[in-house]
A = this chain, B = another copy of it.
Amino acid sequence: MSNTMTELRAAYGEIADLRAAMGLLEWDQQTHMPKEGFATRGRVVATLAQIAHERYLSPRFDELVAAAEAEAPPGDDAITLDLLRWERDRERRIPATLVEENSLAVTASYQAWEEARKTKDFAQFAPHLEKVVALRRRFADHYGYDAHPWDALVPGFERGMTAALIKPVFDKVQPRVTALLKAIQSKGPAHDLSFLDQRWDPDAQWAFGMRVLADLGFDLARGRQDRSTHPFTMGMAPTDVRLTTRLKAESLFSALMATAHEGGHGLYEQGFRPEDARTPLGHAPSSAVHESQARLYEYRVAACLPFWRHYAPVLREHFPGQLDNVSAEQLYAAINEVSASFIRVDADEVTYPLHIILRFELELELIAGTLAVRDLPEAWNAKMRAYLGITPPDPVLGCMQDVHWAEALFGYFPSYSLGTMFGAMFMEKMEADHPSLWTDMEAGDFRPVLGWLRRNVHTVGSRMKPLELVRAATGREFTPEPFLHYLEAKYTELYRLGG
């Protein structure tokens, strides 16, 4: 490595350290911070964000980038240079004052969101969301865009992605998923799931989730799990990765699904190469790739029949007397029960894409200004009725359910479904590479899954762009077909739709 690249990496490393500190401040804010800590926490995060921004745009950083460009280094250095230059150029478009203003607004908005949820009062949250949306539009204006201001925001999560690229994919997926959902609804349940209607001790749920997390390969010497209102993952380094889950006594699977989902994120964060730490390489190439890992562990692993053939006896031990006559097949049917429901994170695999498409469409309108924030609850409910046939009784079950918009994460939602589709392609290839994949899982051995992902996804880091990574890992161009094929096959069998 040249001296220039060494210095450039050191300069970038300081920015990475500031971001790691911000990660911890945000993790703490959602897990351990005393209630009134909000007053000053936003200020601290804003200062760190501002310093990171300044460092990116400092003359010294520019000099190093220019010197590195002149040297035109090969291999990883070339990718590193491309990534940090792209990030810098994007950062450069935003004035430091706007960064600070945004950071303070987001902290206040998060707090307002948490408070407003207690009283189910959208009006309390609305002024904060208006401010966040207005700030997003100002960001979009600074970034620049051709077709839609939303296109200016999405590259923060999916570089090179636009509304015009996503829409045809979603337009292909939606009618087939809608057809599947209608078939399921007209057929009705094929299994007796009345056992679900019990109280599930949160401590036992926690213990079972921790057991599964360790079995999946999450290293608890390099990470931990906590509780928070909305589950999330924060990776400070591959040696320090934090997940959260939530525990609901009325739901047998909610905590496990959150643990498996965040566990997928966490396994990814633990799987970056140690030597990529503090460089642009030690990250996912996009949010969709990150979500591919989360959705894969949530559904393809934790909601498959071999998983439940292995864990049914373990779950019975955790809830003595509550599951004695419940088979692995019933647990599998229960965790995959399809029903139109209000909450995205609790949504089943079939209705989930509809929740995403709804948010994608509303986001486009909010950012374009064709939908006013005050009209959001009504627009939300109208789409819920149209796509899922149900009307949320209050905003906590409607447009205030997700933390994303409160945290200014506009442009993120499509990543979940794109990620699910990437995951379906990974699974197809993984099955081909490991014919014993499902029998291994049934024996409680999840190493083939993690091994395949470590080799083909995790250790790649940001060395490839998302669609390149999908192509390299699977040998195919990106397509939603494997996802649709998997979904239709699985639920046709589960709901006996074929007959």
Contact = CB atoms under 8 A, between A and B. Distances in A.
B17 A24 contact: no
Contacts of A277: 40
Copies in the complex: 2
Given A40-B277, A51-B51, A240 B18 contact: no
B222 A36 contact: yes
Contacts of A28: 24, 28
16 contacts: A21-B44, A32-B224, A33-B240, A34-B221, A34-B222, A36-B221, A36-B239, A37-B222, A37-B236, A37-B237, A37-B239, A39-B237, A39-B239, A40-B237, A40-B239, A40-B278
Contact of A48 (B13, B17, B278): B17
Interface in A220-242: 220-224, 226, 236-237, 239-241
Given A21-B25, A39-B237, A40-B236, A47 B14 contact: yes
A35 interface: yes
A358 interface: no
A467 interface: no
A176 interface: no
Tell me which of A18, A38, A219, A277 has the highest count of chain B C-beta atoms within 10 A of its own C-beta. A18
Contact of A43 (B44, B226, B278): B278
A447 interface: no
A41 interface: yes
A243 B421 CA distance: 46
A192 B237 CA distance: 54
Interface of A: 13-14, 17-18, 20-21, 24-25, 28, 32-41, 43-44, 47-48, 50-51, 219-224, 226, 236-237, 239-241, 277-278
A45 to B, nearest CB: 8
A37 B236 CA distance: 9
A492 to B, nearest CB: 43
Contacts of A18: 47-48, 51
Tell me which of A13, A38, A236, A240 has the highest count of chain B C-beta atoms within 10 A of its own C-beta. A240
B36 A240 contact: yes
Contacts of A223: 34
A47 B17 contact: yes
The 6 tightest CB contacts between A and B, nearest first, are: A37-B240, A17-B47, A40-B237, A36-B239, A17-B44, A36-B222
A24 B22 CA distance: 11
A273 to B, nearest CB: 14
A21 B20 contact: no
Contact of A40 (B36, B40, B44, B240): B240
Given A18-B51, A41-B240, 6 more contacts: A17-B47, A34-B224, A37-B239, A39-B237, A40-B278, A43-B278
A36 to B, nearest CB: 4
Contacts of A50: 14
Contacts of A36: 219, 221-222, 239-240
A34 B239 contact: yes
